[in-house]
Amino acid sequence: MLVLLKPGTPETTANDVMTRLRMAGLAVHRTDHDAQVRIAAIGDLSAVDWEAAKTWAGVESLAKLAKPFKLASRAFRPHDTLISVGRATIGSEKIVIMAGPCSVEGEEQAFTIAERVAKAGATVLRGGAFKPRTSPYAFQGLGEEGLKILRRAADAFGLAVISEVMDTAQVGLLSRYADILQIGARNMQNYSLLREVGHTQKPIMLKRGLSSTIEEWLMSAEHIMAQGNQQVMLCERGIRTFETYTRNTLDLNAVPVVKELSHLPIIVDPSHGVGIRDKIAPMARASVAAGADGLIIEVHHDPDHALSDGPQSLYPDQFDSLVAQIRTIAGVVGRTV
Amino acid sequence: MLVLLKPGTPETTANDVMTRLRMAGLAVHRTDHDAQVRIAAIGDLSAVDWEAAKTWAGVESLAKLAKPFKLASRAFRPHDTLISVGRATIGSEKIVIMAGPCSVEGEEQAFTIAERVAKAGATVLRGGAFKPRTSPYAFQGLGEEGLKILRRAADAFGLAVISEVMDTAQVGLLSRYADILQIGARNMQNYSLLREVGHTQKPIMLKRGLSSTIEEWLMSAEHIMAQGNQQVMLCERGIRTFETYTRNTLDLNAVPVVKELSHLPIIVDPSHGVGIRDKIAPMARASVAAGADGLIIEVHHDPDHALSDGPQSLYPDQFDSLVAQIRTIAGVVGRTV
Amino acid sequence: MLVLLKPGTPETTANDVMTRLRMAGLAVHRTDHDAQVRIAAIGDLSAVDWEAAKTWAGVESLAKLAKPFKLASRAFRPHDTLISVGRATIGSEKIVIMAGPCSVEGEEQAFTIAERVAKAGATVLRGGAFKPRTSPYAFQGLGEEGLKILRRAADAFGLAVISEVMDTAQVGLLSRYADILQIGARNMQNYSLLREVGHTQKPIMLKRGLSSTIEEWLMSAEHIMAQGNQQVMLCERGIRTFETYTRNTLDLNAVPVVKELSHLPIIVDPSHGVGIRDKIAPMARASVAAGADGLIIEVHHDPDHALSDGPQSLYPDQFDSLVAQIRTIAGVVGRTV
Amino acid sequence: MLVLLKPGTPETTANDVMTRLRMAGLAVHRTDHDAQVRIAAIGDLSAVDWEAAKTWAGVESLAKLAKPFKLASRAFRPHDTLISVGRATIGSEKIVIMAGPCSVEGEEQAFTIAERVAKAGATVLRGGAFKPRTSPYAFQGLGEEGLKILRRAADAFGLAVISEVMDTAQVGLLSRYADILQIGARNMQNYSLLREVGHTQKPIMLKRGLSSTIEEWLMSAEHIMAQGNQQVMLCERGIRTFETYTRNTLDLNAVPVVKELSHLPIIVDPSHGVGIRDKIAPMARASVAAGADGLIIEVHHDPDHALSDGPQSLYPDQFDSLVAQIRTIAGVVGRTV
């Protein structure tokens, strides 16, 4: 149930309403929109006499939260969620660009790439320290050593850090080094992990599962938000279809759909979505034209020797040109880069 | 086998080469590129002594046509195919815009919409006279009467006409009224129909089947081209996935992939691809940003009363704004509208 | 609308009811079930005063036909449709086995295979004379000559003939030689062709499209039935998914689902569904265990030299063993072979 | 690399070979087949001089392990893996039947169902204590209390216990109560969890991810086996396709394919695979006909009041009939129940 308070309701009254709802056994979440307090009350609604609730002090009106996702829905929070990370405000009019190598491979690699992407306009450095690999025999990442390198490289060039967390036991470690915790596609429905990151104060980037519907994806965001962490951004990274020419099928339809259903920012990852270097730039441009709030792109100065995902990494020069193109397209949709 | 002649080879010599190949039982197709004659010889290649062929008068070199599609491949024809229809040259630097109602419903409807889309910048009028409908009990189109109306409306505003042909028996009829024959997604592998339109001189727009791979799509183009009709454009209109929020999943990855594999123009149909009115414009913008050669968009002045596909038709005003946005994005990718 | 007449209603009264419905512009179809006449009236239902219709002579009751498919639904015809072809009654307690080569290649091939499959228990001989091939350069079938051979081989061993029709123009030709006309997966939504075979008196086997839902498949059957031909059987032959190890993903779930929704017989084609020889027998057994009314299986005495689909054809000995296994499984589900 | 020792090689010699391989930095796994020791050496193969290795004492021959999965492949272990759990030997000629409620709901429910399924022929009791739910607001299971009840109910009727583990932190807890640890479809690529259960001595049932290929599934099994736990069984439970009539599309093609590629047992879960009660029995019969080593089926004595998955649970009477049918089909494929 969505409980809308009258504009100007004193804080003490608002707190009273929330306490009554909590005492009825409901989970209570609050957002403020246009000087109005909006309270989502979730759980066994039969415990409250809603007819009576309409007359509680401060209450203006009630509305059903019809979708299965509540906190992630536009109905609860009509305005876009903004997430501040370093110099970036994700979800704002300014499109955020995250870039960096697939895996952190060493000091020189990380610093070289960080410098280039920072200069080109990126504000967040990506890089994997723990890699989910289909084969148990493939390179699994540098672990904590990789995180340290990533942090230093980012700090050297004024970037924030995003890196993937694969397990509940890693959440603390990742939180020490990264500004944004990434949940990978394979873990989109790892509910234990979602709950765990929901207890942190860190912004979370939740990648869409390979065969997840948009609704399931928003439900996974809800798992995080229900624990109290509202700083969630979504990341479209390609779905699985019958087509084998591309690595995955980047589903840009998801961009305008998510913007309608939810207030959460949506980032697009064309690198994993298409998986072919010279198709990344067209799809990155298309993402911005479709309304994405940001991009996350793999860049490597020497992709032929990358330890993972070389064939889908842009050369730094290609990345420079891409950012320039995106700048113009952003203008068409009322955004900046 | 691809037989490349020396630049400046006289026509009589070129003809001799083609005759020798034909006499060996091969199908022979010619294209000219940068003052060079390129000959594709297709069939049982063992009938020719290719070592000897390298020494034939006029022959510069030979190359394998490795892909299963030959005439549709960039290997055969490195330069983009241009298709002239009315005022449009499809595949050129200028992005073509096709627009109009899903179905032709009557004189007033067709003229009203034709006027609006022409004014906004469209050069081709779309409209169905024979409609492939899932239900045998649904509106099946006005038939020839619809084609007459469509032709008159297009002529009144200087537009070319595109309309769907559903059956070999209709090819003659459609050819009398339409400038471009459309093969619908459901008929992408109706090989009898592909062969039949391959015998006409009309440009063909071949829609991608709901679950066809890009290679199968190009093979269907090859079915048309093998009959002698080289004027084929492809149309991405959404594939079927597990996602049900959108009508289909518009696969924009196909745009850069097709541009690499083939010289044929590629048009995008966001109306059928997404199926939700307010998602059409974002996906149309994204299509152009991804490198599409054109768009085909459903526009209706009164979509609530449309006999088919109302919910995915743009209002004329929305269409005007969209064309303006596309104009700027086209500039980013070196195109015009 | 479904109009149920009272048991024992005289034919003249039944005819009166049908005439009244037809005069209101409705399409009228009749089936008899347990001594009761059931009339489906389809079209613009507002033309009839249904309250009044309840009092018409002979009318017992009315019921809505809620599904989009009407004539194909169990609601219209509660009992299983039986289709008699040669010695087979498809849809009966006896499971029908159709077998033969992918393509007819010549007299000796056809007779050799026909003899073997007849001896093993097949009652219908399959064989393609017109082949839908992805490549325009692949073997397209022997055409009418192939049909003649197929007919002679079938007659020699007391078998009925099934063969694919690819185009409206071929319907007459095929009807001269074949007992069952097959509509291939690629043509499942070729509505012109569906309409054309709907005008014949021949049993039709309608294969499921590669990405068609069960509802769309039944709607395609409805296209045939709406023209008056009620002798339609469905054929599950695999759908397209992301899995590439098997040629397609044979969807056996469709068997019990179709049996619930429709009275039409359902045949399974494991040869195309899986596409790997040693996986055909397990999936054929599974089909019968799931409740299929029949099987259609590719058998070739020399698959290494088959002109098409050799790798998925059973050797005659394998086919013999398979039929023996199926006989026992049929008993478990109350059927015979 | 697969190192095959000569039959009769003394243990000390075999150990020497394994030690040399380990000292070269390779992971070493051993299996015995027909009195022959087979050693899989995995890792950076360039560290060994393989020509020389052919002459090592005891070595008969070498063979490449070509597939990306090594320990899970038939090439490494030609004979079927047998897993003993309680009275069942999974992978043997006797088909194992696992049955029980979706979630453990209480003492009475668990005992009632356990008694019925044990009497019908099941040897393993299933029941969820920790439930992965799309919604954070849905019933999440009884937790440890549920495990205790499940254990008591199983013990009372001589059954083994299978239950799902959702997180690395739960592995110890689950191991105390369950005989088989289930990895759910959503966690098939939760590599941290796979590694963790790979360190236990418990048999693992690995469900196929909703959109995972068969190869990826076997690679996930490899993640477990690479840690030393060879007791892995696979569970096909339906994949995601465009079809919406059934909950998922149970992919029985996977059964014969897995049996060819791997020595691991394969169980089928028709309850989740189809999701519609009256379609469970046909698909369970089909699973056995296709060659499955076992079934896992949801049974509930009062499905209308089940806290989860009621509509896909069989009534105990239906389960009884199903087991009887399966017994006969098992005979056809040389198995027993």
Domain boundaries, chain A: 2-63, 83-332
Spatial separation of the C-alpha atoms in residues A252 and A322, rounded to whole Å: 18
Do the domains at D2-63 and D83-332 have one common CATH topology? no
pLDDT range class, residue C310, cuts 50, 70, 90: confident
Gyration radius of chain C's alpha carbons? 21
The yes-or-no verdict on residue C31 having pLDDT over 90 is yes
Q: Which of D26, D171, D192 to mutate to test the interface with A (most CBs of A within 10 A)?
A: D192
Are A159 and A86 a contacting pair, CB within 8 Å? yes
Q: How far is CA C247 from the centre of its chain?
A: 22
Domain C83-332 has CATH 3.30.300.30: no
H/E stretch holding D70: none
Chain A closest-CA separation from residue D158 CA (Å): 32
D211 to chain B: which residues are within 8 Å by CB? 242
Query: What CA–CA distance (Å, rounded) separates A207 from A254?
Result: 12
**Residues A95, A96, A101, A106: is their CA dihedral positive or negative?**
positive
Give the confidence band of C83 by pLDDT, cuts at 50, 70, 90: very high
CA atoms within 13 A on the CB side of C35: 4
pLDDT in tens, C102-120: 999 999 999 999 999 999 9
Q: For A249, which of B246, B251, B279 is closest by C-beta distance?
A: B251
Amino acid at D143: G
Model pLDDT, residue D263? 98
Give the residue from chain A lying closest to B243, CA to CA: A213
Closest B-chain CA to D241: B242
| Dist CA B39 CA C327 (whole Å) | 58
User: What pLDDT digit, counting tens, does each position of C257-279 carry?
Assistant: 999 999 999 999 999 999 999 99
Given a contact cutoff of 8 angstroms between Cβ atoms, the answer to whether D177 and D224 are in contact is: no
Q: Which residue in chain B has the smallest CA separation from A250?
A: B253
D204 interfacial to chain A (CB closer than 8 Å): no
What's residue C139's pLDDT? 87
| Torsion region of D88: left, alpha or beta (phi above 0 gives left; psi -120 to 50 gives alpha) | beta
Cβ neighbours of D285 in C, within 8 Å = 289-290, 332-333
The angle at the Cα of A300, spanning A294 to A303, to the nearest 5 degrees, equals 130
Neighbours of B244 (CB within 10 A): 11
Residue A105 CA to its chain's centroid (Å): 24
Give the separation between CA B245 and CA C313, rounded to whole angstroms: 40
* Residue in B with minimal Cα distance to C210: B211
How many CA within 13 A on the CB side of residue C111?
A: 7
Structural contact between residues A316 and A302, judged by C-beta atoms closer than 8 angstroms: no
Q: Is D242 on the interface with B (CB under 8 A)?
A: yes
Residue A189 sits at the chain D interface (C-beta within 8 Å)? yes
Task: Return the percent helix, strand and coil in chain D, to nearest 5.
Answer: 40, 20, 40
Best mutation site among D73, D174, D191 for testing chain A: the one with the most A CBs within 10 Å? D191
- pLDDT tens column, C231-265: 999 999 999 999 999 999 999 999 999 999 999 99
H/E segment holding residue D214: helix D214-225
- Of the candidates A256, A264, A327, A267, the one whose C-alpha atom is nearest the C-alpha of residue A296 is A267
- The pLDDT score that the predictor gives to residue D34 is 85
- Which stretches of chain D score pLDDT less than 70? none
Q: What is the 3-state secondary structure (H, E, C) of A226-285?
A: CCCCCCEEEEECCECCCCCCCCCECCCCHHHHHHHHECCCEEECHHHHHCCHHHHHHHHH
Tell which C residues from 252 to 311 touch B, by Cβ distance under 8 Å: none
How far is residue C284's CA from residue C292's CA, in Å, rounded to a whole number? 9
| CB-CB neighbours of D217 under 10 Å | 27
Chain B contact set for C209 (CB, 8 A)? 211
Task: Please tell me whether residue A65 adopts helix, strand or coil conformation.
Answer: coil
Beta pairing class for A88-90 and D204-207: unpaired
3-state secondary structure A53-64: HCCCCCEEEEEC
In CATH, the number for domain D2-63 is 3.30.70.1140
Cβ neighbors of B23 (< 8 A, separation 6 or more) are none
Cβ atoms of C179 and C86 within 8 Å: the answer is yes
Rounded to the nearest angstrom, the gap between the alpha carbon of residue D182 and the centroid of all alpha carbons in its chain is 8
Nearest in space to A217 (alpha carbons), one of D140, B250, B245: B245
Chain D residue closest in CA terms to C246? D253
- Give, for all 337 residues of chain A, the pLDDT tens digit: 999 999 999 999 999 999 999 999 999 999 998 889 999 999 999 999 999 999 999 999 999 998 999 999 999 999 999 999 999 999 999 999 999 999 999 999 999 999 999 999 999 999 999 999 999 998 889 999 999 999 999 999 999 999 999 999 999 999 999 999 999 999 999 999 999 999 999 999 999 999 999 999 999 999 999 999 999 999 999 999 999 999 999 999 999 999 999 999 999 999 999 999 999 999 999 999 999 999 999 999 999 888 888 889 999 999 999 999 999 999 999 999 9
Asked if this assembly's ipTM is beyond 0.95, the reply is: no
The pLDDT of residue D82 is: 97
For chain D, say whether B245 makes contact (Cβ under 8 Å): no
Give the span between the Cα atoms of D63 and D44, in whole angstroms. 16
Banded model confidence at residue B231, pLDDT cuts 50, 70, 90: very high
Closest-CA residue to C293 (of C216, C248, C235, C239): C235
Q: How many residues does chain D have?
A: 337
